[in-house]
Amino acid sequence: MPGPGLFLIAVVIVVAVAAGWAPRRGRQGGAAVADPMVRSAAVAARRRVLGATGCALAVLVLAGYVATLRPEWLGLPLAVGPAVATATGLLLYAATPPERLRAESNRRVASLEPRAPWSFASRRTLGLLALVAVAQVSLLIGTGLTSSPDDAGRYRVVTYSSGGVSSTASPYPGWFYGVPLMIVTVLLAVATLVAFWRIAATPSLPVEGLATPDRRRRVDTTRIIAGLGLGGLLLQLGGTSAAAGSALGNVLDQPGAPGEWRLVAAALFWLGLLCAVAGIVSVTVAVSRGVALKADLATGPVSTGGSTAALPGAAE
């Protein structure tokens, strides 16, 4: 993914969120919140989400800047930038201490229901996160095995030989890029799980009758964190796939090259662009939900039952 692309991603996300800020603020202004503790919890959750997102965007832009300062690193900061930026934001979210909520009454209540890091995420969401992560690692293994060393011995080119004619193309996500990318993929997966754990481990609202908005708070913030994590994975997978497809297309642009491999190269390139767009959409939607979290927690429809399945985005 080229350096300007990272700046473009950051600009698109910021502009999209800013465009939806005014109407959401208008809806928040007319919201009626039954309990001030619910409002306080919602505002604190919203502040953490937006702080984590701002940190991730800053790291993303920094990765592009570092790549321009260090051309000898051959674009490696750009390759790992989306995953590192997202993981940094999620770890910042997890490291932020929970808000201190004070109840007017001396009576305190607490839920005895056991909570796991994945208790508030749907199976579909967890499955999608796992699928994209596995697809990324599988693609990196495949490109690593098909890569060739350059003049300095770095596995970052792809070579094709036919009829005594040989051609090479780079950058190709061989082991030079693949090993760091696999490491940051694991880092991002761990950071997402840690953020899920942070949501589940946050103390409940200590007032009787607030179990439903408390659960809604966890479900909504889990959806936001999952959207950020999925966006980071998709951006990384998109960049890897597009780079692999582009390099393969260039190296196979000669007479006698197998037509099926040209189809593979085209499929990888367009799949990469599709994943990159999906990643931008996922992050933008997640941030927009973070902006609207105050209103959604306060006025959105919630279930009166205790079942997780009764809430949007809850475990199925």
pLDDT tens, per residue, the chain with 316 residues: 444 455 555 555 555 555 555 445 444 444 444 466 677 777 777 888 888 888 988 998 898 889 889 888 888 998 999 999 999 999 999 998 876 655 555 555 555 566 777 778 888 999 999 999 999 999 999 999 999 998 888 999 998 887 677 788 888 999 999 999 999 999 999 999 999 998 888 777 666 666 677 778 788 889 999 999 999 999 999 999 999 999 998 888 776 667 788 899 999 999 999 999 899 889 888 888 888 776 555 544 443 333 333 333 333 2
CA distances to 23, 141, 150 from 171, rounded to whole Å, are 44, 16, 10
The Cα 131–Cα 133 span in angstroms is 5
Query: Do the Cβ atoms of 241 and 197 come closer than 8 Å?
Result: no
Query: Do the Cβ atoms of 94 and 108 come closer than 8 Å?
Result: no
At position 40, the amino acid (one-letter code) is S
Predicted pLDDT at 83: 92
Residue 276, both tokens: 């990159």
Residue 270, both tokens: 């367009």
Q: What is the DSSP letter of 311?
A: S
Helices (H), the chain: 3-29, 36-69, 76-95, 123-145, 175-201, 211-251, 259-291, 293-299
CA distances to 85, 234, 278 from 61, rounded to whole Å, are 9, 17, 19
Residue 202, both tokens: 């946050």
Predicted pLDDT at 258: 75
CA distances to 42, 258, 298 from 193, rounded to whole Å, are 21, 43, 26
Predicted pLDDT at 227: 92
The Cα 70–Cα 305 span in angstroms is 56
**Omega of the bond prior to 258 within 30 degrees of 0, cis?**
no
Q: What is the DSSP letter of 99?
A: P
Burial class (CB in 10 A: 0-12, 13-18, 19+), 79: buried
Predicted pLDDT at 302: 42
| First vs last C-alpha separation in the chain | 36
